[in-house]
Amino acid sequence: GNNIPRFVRSLVEEAGIDPKDLATFLHQGSLRVIGSLQESLSDQNVIVDIEDGNYSSATIPRMLSRANLQSGQRAVLVGFGAGLFASGAVVEFG
């Protein structure tokens, strides 16, 4: 559905940041789910890492370790699970 994209947009809006100024990291689900989310969030830089599959709770930290983000860069981190319950935050790296 549209719940995850709506949630991501609300996080970005609440932070008052242009979506183009962020990297968006999503918990890895199936290719179908991730593809649908990338399409729905086409105005954002959605980072995906499907090389090694789903690492459960370690997925986002694993992607961050590979992303080589610079000090001052901002990102949206969103994890979601069964029933598409989601939690997330906008963070700035220092």
Q: What mean pLDDT, rounded, does the chain reach?
A: 85
pTM: 0.82
pLDDT at 71: 93
pLDDT digits (tens, 9 = 90+) for 11-66: 999 999 999 899 998 887 677 888 888 899 998 888 877 666 667 778 888 888 88
The torsion of the CA quartet 31, 67, 22, 91, rounded to 10 degrees, works out to 110
Residue 63: which residues within 8 A CB-CB, separation 6 or more?
25, 28, 47, 49
Q: Are 78 and 8 in contact (CB under 8 A)?
A: yes
